[in-house]
Structure 1
Amino acid sequence: MTVALSRRASDVRVIGLISLAHGSSHFFHLILPPMFPWLKNEFALNYAELGLLMSVFFVVSCVVQASSGFLVDRIGARPILFAGVGLLALAALTYSQSNGYWMLVMGAVIAGCGNGIFHPVDYTLINHKISPPNLPYAYSMHGVTGYLGWAAAPAFMVGIAQISDWRIAFLSAALLEAMILLILWMNKSQLIDNVKERHESVQESNSSSKSGATTEGTFAFLRLKAVWLCWIFFFFSMASTSSLQSFSPSALFKIYDLPVNVGNYYLTLLALGSAAGVLVGGYLAAKLYTPERIVSSFLSITIVICLLLATGLIPMQIIPIAFCTLGFGYGVVAPSRDLLVKLATPKGVAGRVYGIVYSGIDLGAAVGPFVFGFFMDAGLPKALFIGIALFQLMIIPTVFKVSSTSHKPA
């Protein structure tokens, strides 16, 4: 009993630290866009130039995420985590001192490098440090802090910029990230990732199994069908989410004549609904352990809501409920999605697999808004919700294929 309680306490501490770092990475996804009005006036930029900053951020993050997993498997997750958090603080500091567009680009590159390490690091630590019964709860809390980071950034940045200026807002973000780095450093003993121990465990497993992917070479895992199915899942999932975040306020204005500022408020409801959904999703994943059914069921709900929004027939007073429900559905899916990746990951290559699979998130975030931007410019706002529904529909078959090629624990 004492051992079990000690183990649970250790799990809580570890997931708390990892979730704090993960929330800060999502916070940094949205420190730049709220400052666009200030930066536009300060440097006489157009919206295309400002949008390119986010494309630079996500493309760099995609490349770093795909490659950093190899480094995590080689030297361990903890030093990479410290480096990533430090780079985010440096990026905010660079933004605050910018004297022109190219310095903003430099800040976006640094931020992309810092952001790109988090999923390989986080999931390697979670899978290595958290006891199996608590894994779904760990995935749930990890996801919740990501959504809370998204929700907090605009209010934090705009609030400070309004009472001071945009440079102070970025300096404050840098200070906040530096404080998080200090907290992680003070608790570094909780984040020890014994690479040698993991490799020895893999060798023992491979000696008694014919399916050891790591015995075939560093890149052998890339031949696994489940890895690329998970990548497709993440690509279309994030393409949907980022497109909804980017254009739904404008689409609602054109379809329902809703003011854009009200549409932005609905994005907050979307994020809060997602946070609540992740908590419920963690419970369902732990109790049911049928990730493919959970994902397909709740994605079906979000598909129906998107199609209804596209019709223009939803009563105005129901739209906030629709966005809350949409976010809730996205959130419930997240822990089961992460569990599917865990089931599809061979031992010893967690960092590499998570790096490749989660690079789909960054590429989806870069591609989705770019594609749907053409529909919005063409005056086809309904195509946004229809396209998002189609993207989510394309995800469902991958879930069952991943599940059929993975082995569930007894």
Structure 2
Amino acid sequence: MTAIPDPKTALAAARPAERMLLGQVSLAHLVSHVHIMTVPALLPLLPGHFGSSFIEIGVALTLFNLVSLVVQAPMGFVSDRLGARPVLVAGLFVGGLSFIGLALSPGYAMLLVAMAGAGLANGVYHPANYALLARGIDGARMGKAFSIHTFAGYLGTAIAPPLLLGTAALLGVSQAFAVAGLLGLGVGLLTLVSGGNAPVVRPEPRAEAAEAGRPRPPRVRLITGTVIGLMAMYVLLSLSTGGIQSFSASALVMGYGIDLAGANAALTVFLFMSAGGVLAGGALADRTRRHGLVAAAAFLGTSVIAGTMALTQPSAVVATLLLGAAGFLSGIITPSRDMLVRAAAPKGAEGIVFGIVSTGFNIGGLIGPLLYAALLDQGQPRAIFAVAAVFMLLTVTLTLIQDRRARR
């Protein structure tokens, strides 16, 4: 006769397992964002390093996003069927080796190869991470778990410019690429070694026996109007915040008379404040069901700040303060955004739904780098912020539509 587990004992076992799982997934998310920011962080130095133009560097970033776009939804399916943890470990190793290869064999052709490999790795992180969290974290703590996971990613984005630019200043650009690669290999090895020691006990297990005989829903049923709308929201988010993350430092240098150190400091403040906004957004996400309204209000404020940057000539200090405020507001949106996606995902298909929706980032990534790089090559650095503000206003409109649809 099978003993019935004590719910209190299961809960006590689940909490440490949840923390270990969240720590591992968050560390992987940090690495993924360092890798996303590696080329943008070094962007002011890369035309000289590779002997190329900004638009050619933009092509490499577009290739990164194109590969991610192609593989991300299939990786969600693989994560759901074969296990998210081994898929995550593979992504960390592939991303790390891509940048190690670029460090050992510098050149524009190798940059394209490395960006393709890093794009393949990047297609793993969102579906695998969110599948692990959705199945291993109690629903009552999901908002905070999403915010911590997202905070780690934003932290990786924030530390990338000082880490990589500092390494490049001391040792050279190739060594900066090596640092990014070694970080991926190290965390991949850590996740591989510690994975078996982190069993996850769900305090509210699903009725697996009852669901075992039910056929999985065909993938076509996952492509609903809500999912398509959320993917479009991700496209607009990529086009707006991605432009500021990747090109604002160069825009500040070219159009505002701010030196590289000051521009990098302003970008770093934007990124760290974004990470802080994520934590604040996590607290809000657990306290409200109006996730779309929270996200829209925060992004409306961000668009006002971006428009102010485009229309005025702020000093280095004022630009830093404005970008810090914009970063905090843009960070608030992310936990609510993730909760909207989780609500749209059928149980057991979280990985593939997050994979489908996250392709929106890559679709935006196909367009954004070429658009913003062309503006810099044409001597229009202020337009970086103006175009970002327009995309933010479109995001606000779409988010309000999604919120209305969710309430219905």
Match of 2:64 among 57, 60, 72: 57
The Cα offsets for residues 22-81 of structure 1, whole Å up to 9 and x where unpaired, read as 100111112234556776556544443333222221211221113211111221211111
Tell me if the contact between 1:76 and 1:193 (Cα under 8 Å) persists in the aligned partners: no
Q: How does 1:6-405 map to 2 (within 5 A)?
A: 6-35=13-42, 40=47, 44-98=51-105, 100-189=107-196, 201=208, 204=211, 217-222=218-223, 224-252=224-252, 256-312=256-312, 317-405=317-405
Give, in angstroms, the shift of residue 260 of structure 1: 4.6
Tell me if the contact between 1:77 and 1:121 (Cα under 8 Å) persists in the aligned partners: yes
* Count, aligned residues: 399
Question: Distance between the aligned counterparts of 1:186 and 1:377, measured in 2?
Answer: 46
Tell me if the contact between 2:24 and 2:191 (Cα under 8 Å) persists in the aligned partners: yes
Question: Distance between the aligned counterparts of 1:250 and 1:41, measured in 2?
Answer: 14
Give, in angstroms, the shift of residue 270 of structure 1: 0.4
What amino acid is the match of 2:264? Answer: N
The Cα offsets for residues 222-278 of structure 1, whole Å up to 9 and x where unpaired, read as 1x1000111011110111012112333344456644335422221101001101101
- Give the secondary structure class of the aligned counterpart of 1:289: coil
In the alignment, structure 2 segments of 5+ residues that lack a partner are 1-7
User: Does the C-alpha gap of structure 1 residues 379 and 298 become closer, same or farther in structure 2, counting only changes over 3 Å?
Assistant: same
Tell me if the contact between 1:65 and 1:359 (Cα under 8 Å) persists in the aligned partners: yes
Question: Distance between the aligned counterparts of 2:42 and 2:339, measured in 1?
Answer: 36
Question: Distance between the aligned counterparts of 1:36 and 1:310, measured in 2?
Answer: 21
User: Does the C-alpha gap of structure 1 residues 47 and 321 become closer, same or farther in structure 2, counting only changes over 3 Å?
Assistant: closer
Tell me if the contact between 2:262 and 2:316 (Cα under 8 Å) persists in the aligned partners: no
- Give the secondary structure class of the aligned counterpart of 1:269: helix
Question: Distance between the aligned counterparts of 2:401 and 2:368, measured in 1?
Answer: 24
Moved more, 314-323 or 102-111: 314-323
What amino acid is the match of 1:396? Answer: V
Question: Distance between the aligned counterparts of 1:314 and 1:171, measured in 2?
Answer: 36
Question: Distance between the aligned counterparts of 1:116 and 1:319, measured in 2?
Answer: 33
User: Does the C-alpha gap of structure 1 residues 229 and 263 become closer, same or farther in structure 2, counting only changes over 3 Å?
Assistant: same
Tell me if the contact between 2:273 and 2:324 (Cα under 8 Å) persists in the aligned partners: yes
The Cα offsets for residues 356-384 of structure 1, whole Å up to 9 and x where unpaired, read as 11011122123123224444455544443
Give, in angstroms, the shift of residue 216 of structure 1: 5.1
Question: Distance between the aligned counterparts of 2:302 and 2:280, measured in 1?
Answer: 16
Question: Distance between the aligned counterparts of 2:49 and 2:313, measured in 1?
Answer: 42
Question: Distance between the aligned counterparts of 2:399 and 2:132, measured in 1?
Answer: 24
What amino acid is the match of 1:101? Answer: Y
User: Does the C-alpha gap of structure 1 residues 48 and 396 become closer, same or farther in structure 2, counting only changes over 3 Å?
Assistant: closer
Tell me if the contact between 2:80 and 2:348 (Cα under 8 Å) persists in the aligned partners: yes
Question: Distance between the aligned counterparts of 2:378 and 2:103, measured in 1?
Answer: 36
Question: Distance between the aligned counterparts of 1:381 and 1:37, measured in 2?
Answer: 13
User: Does the C-alpha gap of structure 1 residues 63 and 4 become closer, same or farther in structure 2, counting only changes over 3 Å?
Assistant: same
Moved more, 320-329 or 58-67: 58-67
Question: Distance between the aligned counterparts of 2:53 and 2:290, measured in 1?
Answer: 48
Give, in angstroms, the shift of residue 127 of structure 1: 0.5
Give, in angstroms, the shift of residue 406 of structure 1: 4.0
Question: Distance between the aligned counterparts of 2:256 and 2:53, measured in 1?
Answer: 28
Question: Distance between the aligned counterparts of 1:373 and 1:83, measured in 2?
Answer: 32
Question: Distance between the aligned counterparts of 1:293 and 1:11, measured in 2?
Answer: 29
Q: TM-score, normalised by structure 2?
A: 0.87
Question: Distance between the aligned counterparts of 2:252 and 2:43, measured in 1?
Answer: 22
User: Does the C-alpha gap of structure 1 residues 37 and 364 become closer, same or farther in structure 2, counting only changes over 3 Å?
Assistant: closer
Name the counterpart of 1:211.
Answer: none
Sequence identity of aligned pairs in percent? 31
The Cα offsets for residues 314-345 of structure 1, whole Å up to 9 and x where unpaired, read as 57643322111100001111100100001111
Tell me if the contact between 1:255 and 1:312 (Cα under 8 Å) persists in the aligned partners: no
Tell me if the contact between 2:154 and 2:271 (Cα under 8 Å) persists in the aligned partners: yes
What amino acid is the match of 1:115? Answer: N
User: Does the C-alpha gap of structure 1 residues 332 and 371 become closer, same or farther in structure 2, counting only changes over 3 Å?
Assistant: same
Question: Distance between the aligned counterparts of 1:53 and 1:248, measured in 2?
Answer: 18
Question: Distance between the aligned counterparts of 1:203 and 1:403, measured in 2?
Answer: 33
Moved more, 185-194 or 138-147: 185-194
User: Does the C-alpha gap of structure 1 residues 40 and 202 become closer, same or farther in structure 2, counting only changes over 3 Å?
Assistant: farther
In the alignment, structure 1 segments of 5+ residues that lack a partner are 208-213
- Give the secondary structure class of the aligned counterpart of 2:346: coil
Question: Distance between the aligned counterparts of 1:259 and 1:148, measured in 2?
Answer: 24
Tell me if the contact between 2:38 and 2:160 (Cα under 8 Å) persists in the aligned partners: yes
User: Does the C-alpha gap of structure 1 residues 256 and 399 become closer, same or farther in structure 2, counting only changes over 3 Å?
Assistant: same
- Give the secondary structure class of the aligned counterpart of 1:32: helix
Moved more, 387-396 or 274-283: 387-396
Question: Distance between the aligned counterparts of 2:328 and 2:44, measured in 1?
Answer: 31
CA RMSD in angstroms, aligned pairs only = 3.0
Give, in angstroms, the shift of residue 309 of structure 1: 2.0
What amino acid is the match of 1:219? Answer: V
Give, in angstroms, the shift of residue 221 of structure 1: 1.0
